[in-house]
């Protein structure tokens, strides 16, 4: 078992381990496990060949212990260092009487106990006596007091453990949604601002365009005036121009005289 424990540890510090599976490793007693596993919550020792629980370490956070298919007949008091146990599986062991179960009275949080395929189950009125011995017990051998099947205990425990975390996550989600709303508000304001700028820009462009049109109209008027003056035979100053033929004729007349 010591080698298996070292293998499952995988170089981690024992205090970092929350779940440990040692199924099918062969040992008659618990070795290799120490009180250093202070955060261990789930431990599985099925079909190991255990005959005693002597030397079982103190595991203050252990809530689920699997010990099925071993050869344990007594010594449940060695589990006294695991006060938070909620799930305990002793199916397929050698427990014969109710007296052996007495130490389990100390486990006030124990909700699920499995003693299937133990001789103790053959005692008359066995179920009622075990439920009377452990008032907090909710399920025995997979059934409640009314012989109804047990719900998924793992899911229930996880829901209880994660209840606070879920509420915190919900709070963070609400905060994120509020942040998103604020971001949307900022975006909408900027969009309105940009729209106003675009409108002002478009108005100014229209105004500039009208001025350009007026300038174009003035230029057209000047061009028309020049064109008209040329047609009328006027120079740039508006005075009529003499034709070349007229000037030549006048010169000839002067020579004759």
Note the pLDDT tens digit of each residue in 4-20.
Answer: 999 999 999 999 999 99
Predicted pLDDT at 257 = 38
Provide the mean pLDDT of the chain: 76
By the 8 A CB rule, do 92 and 70 touch?
yes
* Residue 58: DSSP 8-state: P
Structure tokens at 21: 């599976």
Structure tokens at 115: 């003693």
pLDDT digits 0-9 by tens, 61-75: 999 999 999 999 999
More confident residue, 167 or 122: 122
Residues 104 and 174 in one domain: no
Q: Residues 24, 7, 60, 110: what is their CA dihedral angle, to the nearest 10 degrees? A: -20
* Listed residue (90, 12, 110, 17) closest to 57, CA to CA: 17
Residues 21 and 83 in one domain: yes
Residues 87 and 188 in one domain: no
Predicted pLDDT at 151 = 74
* Listed residue (150, 200, 57) closest to 22, CA to CA: 57
Predicted pLDDT at 172 = 45
- % of the chain with per-residue pLDDT over 70: 59
CA distance 29 to 45: 11
Residues 132 and 181 in one domain: no
- Domains in the chain, number: 2
Residues 131 and 12 in one domain: yes
Band (pLDDT 50/70/90 cuts) for residue 108 is very high
pTM, full prediction: 0.61
* For residue 49, pLDDT beyond 80: yes
Predicted pLDDT at 34 = 94
Residues 137 and 103 in one domain: yes
pLDDT digits 0-9 by tens, 150-208: 776 554 555 555 544 444 444 444 445 555 554 444 444 455 445 555 555 555 444 44
Give the residue from 151, 178, 202 where a domain finishes: 151
CA distance 90 to 76: 10
């Amino acid at each position: 078992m010591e080698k298996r424990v070292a293998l499952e540890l995988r170089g981690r510090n024992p205090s970092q381990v929350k779940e440990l599976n040692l199924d099918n490793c062969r040992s008659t007693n618990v070795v290799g496990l120490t009180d250093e596993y202070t955060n261990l919550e789930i431990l599985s020792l099925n079909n190991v060949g255990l005959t005693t629980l002597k030397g079982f370490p103190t595991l203050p956070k252990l809530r689920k212990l699997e010990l099925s298919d071993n050869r344990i007949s007594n010594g449940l008091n060695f589990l006294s260092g695991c006060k938070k146990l909620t799930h305990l599986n002793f199916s397929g062991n050698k427990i014969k009487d109710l007296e052996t179960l007495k130490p389990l009275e100390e486990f006030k949080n124990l909700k699920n106990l499995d003693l299937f395929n133990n001789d103790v189950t053959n005692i008359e009125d066995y179920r009622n006596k075990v439920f009377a011995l452990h008032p907090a017990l909710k399920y025995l051998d997979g059934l409640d007091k009314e012989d109804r099947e047990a719900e998924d205990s793992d899911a229930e425990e996880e829901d209880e453990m994660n209840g606070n975390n879920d509420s915190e996550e919900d709070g963070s989600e609400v905060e994120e949604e509020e942040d998103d709303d604020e971001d949307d508000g900022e975006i909408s304001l900027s969009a309105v601002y940009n729209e106003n700028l675009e409108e002002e820009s478009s108005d100014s462009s229209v105004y500039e365009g009208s001025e350009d049109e007026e300038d174009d109209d003035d230029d057209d008027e000047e061009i028309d005036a020049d064109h008209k003056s040329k047609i009328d035979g006027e120079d740039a100053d508006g005075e009529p121009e003499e034709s070349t033929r007229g000037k030549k004729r006048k010169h000839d007349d002067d020579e004759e005289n």
